[in-house]
């Protein structure tokens, strides 16, 4: 595998950053993950726009233009002969000798790294079987709209899920589901309304979430962006998650309690098919 590190394509095993890198020391950095399908970038523009917004919110300047970053992502995908999977990108405030909290003075260059992971997203067995989720308290900070590399709360949440045999953790604040550890959360109510939490500082604005909401509305499915409780989710007809690395995945149980008839629901299944088609036909 080939990675990209600060201007050079290098074997992944030789891709290195400094121990003084502020991403390593302070989690002072931003990341993005975009899917690759048929060797092309899925829904690329929203991911680049979110990257620009995230770095802007932490006062970090990208070392390359968004157009150049997309070119580099495409080159990385080609060099790796990647057909399906993900491109991971991380930019940090760079390596500085002082380990001082305020931004470094002088010409400390941001660190930009990218690598790819192969994954069969379209034919993932979990899309057919559905996934189990557990609920955990949302212990994260108040700027979850920034795609920061500070992911310890999600590491612990998703480890708790894995230990319970579940694929995702839904995080809960004030009785309401915020989102999954690395996905957006949706339910389908008894009245066939698709419900997902509105964007705010409480969640990451998911690119897949945004596309799925639009695709659903275009097909006259009713979507409400509002808060929902765990009890409402447990009583729902269907539940599902969305993310760049999994597209749409049906949820068949929450905290060990069956959702609907315990099988992937027709709406989640249909939205998944619609999203796969969108991803294929719009990838660049
Ligand atoms: N919410 C969180 C906390 C995430 O980490 C992610 C993706 O990793 C998402 C939502 C889904 O966002 P996207 O659809 O852009 O991948």
Give the ipTM of the model, two decimals please: 0.99
pLDDT of residue 214: 98
Dist. CA 19 → ligand 1 center (Å): 27
**CATH assignment of the domain containing 135:** 3.20.10.10
Helices 44-57 & 66-79, crossing angle to 10 degrees? 130
233, 130: one domain: yes
79, 129: one domain: no
Q: Are strands 257-258 and 2-5 parallel, antiparallel or unpaired?
A: unpaired
Cβ–ligand 1 distance for 246 under 6 Å, the answer: no
Dist. CA 104 → ligand 1 center (Å): 29
8, 104: one domain: yes
Range of the domain at 215: 125-282
226 phi and psi angles, rounded to 5 deg: -155, 165
142, 83: one domain: no
Q: What is the pLDDT of residues 211-262, one digit of tens each?
A: 999 999 999 999 999 999 999 999 999 999 999 999 999 999 999 999 999 9
Q: 69, 87, 118 — which closes off a domain?
A: 118
Q: Is the pTM of this model over 0.90?
A: yes
Q: What is the pLDDT of residues 96-138, one digit of tens each?
A: 999 999 999 988 999 999 999 999 999 999 999 999 999 999 9
50, 176: one domain: no
Distances (CA, A) of 207 to 14, 99, 191, 192, 253: 32, 34, 26, 23, 24
Q: Answer yes or no: is pLDDT of 139 > 90.
A: yes
pLDDT of residue 106: 85
Cβ–ligand 1 distance for 182 under 6 Å, the answer: yes
pLDDT of residue 107: 87
154, 264: one domain: yes
152, 262: one domain: yes
**CATH assignment of the domain containing 89:** 3.30.470.10
User: How many domains is the chain built from?
Assistant: 2
133, 192: one domain: yes
Pocket test for ligand 1, best of 183, 198, 214, 278 (most atoms within 8 A of CB): 183
Calculate the CA 275 to chain-centre distance: 15
Q: Answer yes or no: is pLDDT of 278 > 90.
A: yes
Nearest CA to ligand 1 atom 2: 182
Torsion of CA 162, 181, 136, 194, to 10 degrees: -110
143, 189: one domain: yes
Q: What is the position in ligand 1's atom list of the atom closest to the CA of 207?
A: 15
223 phi and psi angles, rounded to 5 deg: -125, 130
31, 101: one domain: yes
19, 143: one domain: no
Q: 86, 118, 150 — which closes off a domain?
A: 118
Q: 118, 139, 160 — which closes off a domain?
A: 118
106, 131: one domain: no
Percent of the chain at pLDDT above 90? Answer: 98
Q: Region 135-161: what's the mean pLDDT?
A: 98
Q: Answer yes or no: is pLDDT of 210 > 90.
A: yes
Kindly name the residue from 16, 105, 109, 147 that is annotated as catalytic.
147
Q: What is the pLDDT of residues 19-31, one digit of tens each?
A: 999 999 999 999 9
Q: What is the position in ligand 1's atom list of the atom closest to the CA of 210?
A: 14
109 noted as active-site residue: no
């Amino acid at each position: 595998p080939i990675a990209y590190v600060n201007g050079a394509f290098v074997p992944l095993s030789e891709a290195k950053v400094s121990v003084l890198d502020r991403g390593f020391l302070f989690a002072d950095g931003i990341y993005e993950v975009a899917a690759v399908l048929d060797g092309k970038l899925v829904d690329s523009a929203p991911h680049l726009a979110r990257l620009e917004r995230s770095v802007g919110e932490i006062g970090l300047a990208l070392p390359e233009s968004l157009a150049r970053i997309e070119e580099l992502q495409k080159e990385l995908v080609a060099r790796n002969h990647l057909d399906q999977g993900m491109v991971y990108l991380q930019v940090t405030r760079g390596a500085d000798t002082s380990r001082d909290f305020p931004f470094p003075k002088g010409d400390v260059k941001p660190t930009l790294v990218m690598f790819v992971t192969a994954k069969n997203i379209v034919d993932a067995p979990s899309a057919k079987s559905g996934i189990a989720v557990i609920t955990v308290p949302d212990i994260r900070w108040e700027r979850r709209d920034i795609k920061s590399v500070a992911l310890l709360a999600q590491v612990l949440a998703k480890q708790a899920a894995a230990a319970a045999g579940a694929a995702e953790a839904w995080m809960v604040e004030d009785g309401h589901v915020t989102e999954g550890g690395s996905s957006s959360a949706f339910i389908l109510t008894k009245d066939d309304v698709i419900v997902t939490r509105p964007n705010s500082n409480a969640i990451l604005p998911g690119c897949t979430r945004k596309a799925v909401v639009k695709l659903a509305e275009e097909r006259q499915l009713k979507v409400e962006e509002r808060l929902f409780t765990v009890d409402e989710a447990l009583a729902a007809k269907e539940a599902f998650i969305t993310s760049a690395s999994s597209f749409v995945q049906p949820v068949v149980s929450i905290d060990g309690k069956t959702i609907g008839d315990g099988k992937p629901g027709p709406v989640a299944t249909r939205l998944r098919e619609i999203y796969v088609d969108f991803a294929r036909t719009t990838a660049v």
